[in-house]
Amino acid sequence: MKFEWQGNSEAGGSAIIASPESYDAVPFMKELMIDGRPRVVSADRLAVATILAFGFDSSGSVELPFPIGPTTAQAIQEFLDPTWVTVSPIDFVPKALPIGVTRMHLTMDSPAERNILNSFDKQRTVHFELRRSDRYAGQLMSLDHHIVVSNAWIFGEAESERSFLAALAVGVLFAESLQVDVIEFPQLVRLLPETARSVSKLLQSCRLALDIVGTENLAVESAGADSRA
């Protein structure tokens, strides 16, 4: 599978574009489209986002838009195991990975699952809300809330593994611009805990953490509140 990064479309959006080759499955969607674009995204995080969205359709050669580090390349191979893939291009010159100071609370077509109350004495959290491209357009941004429209919802059935992974891919693309180092994705952790653990290892290769423990506790608290209601 060959991938292209369109960082600035004529309409001001961005997209990851997949071109299947002989050993690949044909993706249901060949473009992960976003109404908006990240200010900056490293090659390793772009690669991880690409694999989250299209990795399960890939086999054999995986040609990414930009050279990535060998650690990320190995993590991609492990994430897609037992499917055999070779990842290129690889840059063996050591480079510093992005450093963040913010948490991202990611939701897909739903409100935040906890109150986002930021203060100067605590780590800042931004609610990254992904909305459906058949209902909304554009993006809206404030200090604590970032709304982005994407076609990630159509990558799979509602609340399916494929749609959640495509949504997470969009969050990864924006993480560096928002100075994020930890992502909370309660919907993914609650419904697909094994997938969340596998994804967590992949994200670590580009210096991102998926909060599994915290969002598991949040899911339990939410379920308890629902039962009391």
Query: pLDDT per residue over 68-126, tens digit each?
Result: 999 999 999 999 999 999 999 999 998 888 889 999 999 998 999 999 988 888 889 99
Per-residue confidence (pLDDT) for residue 217, from 0 to 100 = 59
Strands 2-6 and 14-19: antiparallel
| Sequence-separated (6 or more) residues with CB below 8 Å from residue 60 | 21, 22, 23, 24, 84, 85, 86
Mean pLDDT for the chain? 90
* Helix-helix angle 43-54:70-80, to 10 degrees: 10
pLDDT of 215 reads 65
pLDDT recorded at residue 219: 52
Cα distance between residue 151 and residue 155, in whole Å: 7
The domain locations on the chain are: 2-90, 102-228
CB atoms within 10 A of CB 189: 25
- Please give the angle made by the CA atoms of 200, 25 and 207, to the nearest 5 degrees: 20
The pTM assigned to this predicted structure is 0.91
pLDDT at 222: 47
154-210 residue pLDDT tens: 998 878 899 999 999 999 999 999 999 999 999 999 999 999 999 999 999 999 999
